[in-house]
Amino acid sequence: MPLDVVMLGRPGAGKGTQARRIEGHFGIPQIGTGDMLRAAIAEGSDLGGRVKAIVDGGDLVPDDLMVELIRARLADGTGAGFVLDGFPRTLDQAEALDRMLGEIGRAISVALDFQLAQGVAEERLLGRAALEGRSDDTPDVIRRRFDTFRRQTAQVSEHYRARGILVGIHADRSVDEVWAEVCEALEQAGGRSDS
């Protein structure tokens, strides 16, 4: 059975860090939609040009664009599973993902819900801003991204809770402590170490 994982939780919760660990340990590709969009912007592609102002402002890229991006990516090398970081961010995206997977007889195995207070997440993002220089890690845009999360993304957790596959993660702990929780959840969901 493929291990199909989604990572949920507000910006700054540490989803990307853990998704990269999952990729290394469980041998499934990490698919970060924010990374894909930033790469498109850096390349100056058509897609990049269309989304730059939206990403820089901390709003969501339209669902149809995101769903097509994910559809193309999932068709490529995800036979053993995948870990999605940053998608789905709306209920419509979650439903589109279910339909896409359903067409090939698959379904999300587990949804990890990274929980931490907004103040802690904000401090982390401000710290990261100094290291990575992301254009959307300024104080104003960070606030906007939290608003966007609260208005459009937070309810996505309920979609997976209703299916009984939502697992809460104490995301305010150290990277290694969070990793231990993540591993336990994925092993319970049938994931096996690649190494």
In angstroms, what is the minimal distance from the CB of 192 to ligand AMP? 27
Among 18, 33, 78, 109, binds ligand AMP (CB under 6 A): 33
Residue 134 and residue 79: Cα distance in Å, rounded? Answer: 32
Write down the residue that tokens 């999605």 correspond to.
84
Largest CA distance in the chain: 44
Residue 34 and residue 85: Cα distance in Å, rounded? Answer: 8
If binding is defined by CB under 6 A, does position 9 make contact with ligand AMP? no
Among 28, 41, 47, 55, binds ligand AMP (CB under 6 A): 55
- 103-124 per-residue burial string, b: 16 or more CB within 10 A, e: under 16: eeebebbbbbbbebeeeebbeb
Active site residues: 15, 89, 128, 134, 145
Site for ligand AMP in 65-94 (CB under 6 A): 66, 86-87, 89, 93
In angstroms, what is the minimal distance from the CB of 69 to ligand AMP? 8
Please list the residues that pair with 81 across neighbouring strands: 3
If binding is defined by CB under 6 A, does position 156 make contact with ligand AMP? no
Count residues near ligand AMP (CB under 6 A).
17
